[in-house]
Each structure stands twice: as C-alpha cells, then as structure tokens.
C-alpha cells in the first residue's frame, strides 16, 4: 500500500496527464476546445439523429472493461465507428456504479437515495438517461416521480444545473478546484459532454453548462483523475486510474 505522500503525487500526475490528453483531443470531431470565463474545456456535442450512445461496465465474461480503450471500436450489428468515450459516473473500489446504472434496458445497480458524505450525495443529485431516442438529465427525486422507461441511465451527483438554476450549495468563492467532467442536455435535444482541461470549481463548471452551453439541466459525472476522455484515433488508454461505468458514442452508419 503506497503511503499518503506517494499517493498524492500519483494522483496529481494522473490529473495532469488527463488534462493534457483532453487538450490534445479537443479538436477531434465531434469534440472541440472551448474557453469560458478564462477556463479551458473540451466539449463534445452529440446529435442523437447522427450518433448512438451506449453505456458499458462489464464484458460478457463479467469483468469490468477498466480502460476506455478496451471498449468496442465499432457498434456491434450497426457498423458505426467509435467517436469518443468517457467516464459515465462514480464507482466504488470494486468499480461498481454507486447509483442507478441501466444498460441496454437492463438495470444492473439500483437507484441510490441514501444520504452520506461525498459529491455523489450532495443533494440534489441526478440521473442522465436516454429514452426513445431522447436524452434527459433529471433530479433523482424527479426521476422517481416521472418513472420514465429508459434504455440506459447513469446516476451521479451533484446536479450542476437544475431547471436553469445552479446547485444551491455551490459557492463562487470556493477554493476546491479539480478536473471535472459532466453532461447536459440542451432544449433542442443535443447532448453536451464537457471535461475541464485544468482544475475548476463546481460553480464555474456549472456556469459553463448553463451559460456557455445553454443547458437548463446538467449533471456532474466525476472529477480528479477519473475525469477523462478518449478518442480512438489517438494513442493511450484515455485513463490512468481504472474506471467503472463508461459511456461511448458511435457514429450511425448511413
């Protein structure tokens, strides 16, 4: 077991490499680089009429995929090539999703409504889901009330933007800065994934989604060295630390 000092330097290096990878991938379609309020981000925009979104956690043999580069390069049965992949939410030391995880219509872990410490439990948290070719981000409580029947869903937290308002616990003067990734859905149905190329606060990241990307609802997926993006045309795994749930976006074959 590494000591605390060694672990600190390992995580710092991992975060730095993740930021460099994000910068290198920023201008690879459908991803682009974006400056907002003096912070640099990579933003990937998904039109579900032209792309297919999938969630992945375990291989057919039951072992986790672990690395983004291990995901299929082509969507089986549809022929669409992998455009990009990213972390899809928080996970425990066994790489199991912390909250609801629904893949290809199968619920593999249940909705988590418990109260505890940590970002996931900074209420309100929420769910990103895809149902009948339409994507949405909803508070966990709203998701429970509406009872949608999604084909895929991943729960994380905290919510970044809630019906046009920033999460009530975010502080503009916060000194907690980390690499962060998240997802939002615009009014026109486009799905926006963003990853910071440096360290930002929750409040700054939420403003990116609300004011910079025009997303009335957005969800934090993860941060630190787990915030990562992978484009198959580049080298490397796309992530240094092992990941649990992952999302992948494939081009629809014509």
Euclidean distance between CA atoms 191 and 184, whole angstroms: 6
Q: How confident is the model at residue 174 (pLDDT cuts 50, 70, 90)?
A: confident
Question: What backbone phi and psi angles, to 5 degrees, belong to 201?
Answer: -85, 165
Tokens 């039109």 found at: 47
Question: Is the separation of the CB atoms in 182 and 209 below 8 Å?
Answer: yes
Structure tokens at 130: 């895809």
* Tokens (6 digits) for 191: 């799905």
Taking alpha carbons only, the member of 115, 117, 141 closest to residue 127 is: 141
Whole-angstrom Cα distance, residue 144 to residue 154? 14
| Bridge partner list, 205 | none
pLDDT at 196 over 60: yes
Q: What is the pLDDT of residues 208-253, one digit of tens each?
A: 999 999 999 999 999 998 888 998 877 566 788 999 999 999 998 7
pLDDT, tens digit (0-9, with 9 covering 90-100), for 89-134: 999 999 999 999 999 999 999 999 999 998 999 999 999 999 987 8
| Range name among 38-52, 178-192, 229-243 with the lowest pLDDT average | 229-243
Q: Look at residues 231, 240, 222 and name the one whose alpha carbon lies nearest to residue 13.
A: 240
User: What number of CA atoms fall less than 13 Å from residue 179's CA on the CB side?
Assistant: 24
Select, from the ranges 76-90, 181-195, 238-252, the one with the highest average predicted confidence (pLDDT).
181-195
The partner residues of 165 in beta bridges, in order of sequence, read 162
Predicted confidence at residue 90, as pLDDT, reads 96
Mean pLDDT of 48-73: 95
| Residue 1 clears pLDDT 60, i.e. is over it | no
Q: Please give the Cα distance from 159 to 161 (Å, whole number).
A: 6
pLDDT bracket for residue 254 (50, 70, 90) = low
Residues 56, 24, 57, CA angle at the centre, nearest 5°?
10
Residue 133: predicted pLDDT: 74
């Amino acid at each position: 077991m590494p000591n605390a000092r060694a672990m600190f330097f390992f995580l710092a290096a991992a975060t730095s490499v993740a930021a460099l990878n994000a910068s290198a991938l920023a201008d690879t379609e459908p991803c682009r680089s974006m400056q907002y309020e003096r912070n640099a981000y990579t933003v990937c925009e998904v039109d579900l009429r032209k792309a297919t979104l999938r969630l992945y956690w375990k291989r057919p043999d039951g072992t986790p995929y672990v690395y983004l580069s291990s995901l299929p390069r082509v969507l089986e049965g549809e022929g669409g090539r992998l455009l990009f992949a990213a972390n899809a939410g928080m996970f425990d030391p066994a790489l199991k999703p912390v909250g609801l995880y629904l893949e290809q219509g199968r619920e593999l872990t249940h909705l988590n409504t418990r109260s505890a410490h940590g970002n996931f439990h900074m209420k309100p948290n929420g769910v990103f889901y895809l149902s009948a070719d339409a994507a949405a981000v909803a508070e966990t409580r709203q998701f429970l009330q509406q009872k949608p029947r999604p084909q895929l869903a991943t729960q994380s937290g905290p919510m970044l933007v809630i019906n046009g308002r920033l999460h009530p616990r975010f502080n503009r003067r916060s000194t907690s800065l980390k690499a962060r990734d998240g997802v939002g859905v615009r009014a026109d149905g486009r799905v926006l994934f963003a990853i910071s190329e440096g360290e930002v606060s929750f409040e700054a990241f939420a403003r990116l989604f609300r004011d910079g990307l025009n997303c009335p609802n957005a969800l934090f997926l993860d941060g630190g060295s787990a915030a990562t993006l992978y484009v198959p045309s580049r080298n490397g795994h796309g992530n240094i630390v092992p990941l649990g749930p992952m999302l992948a976006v494939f081009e629809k074959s014509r």
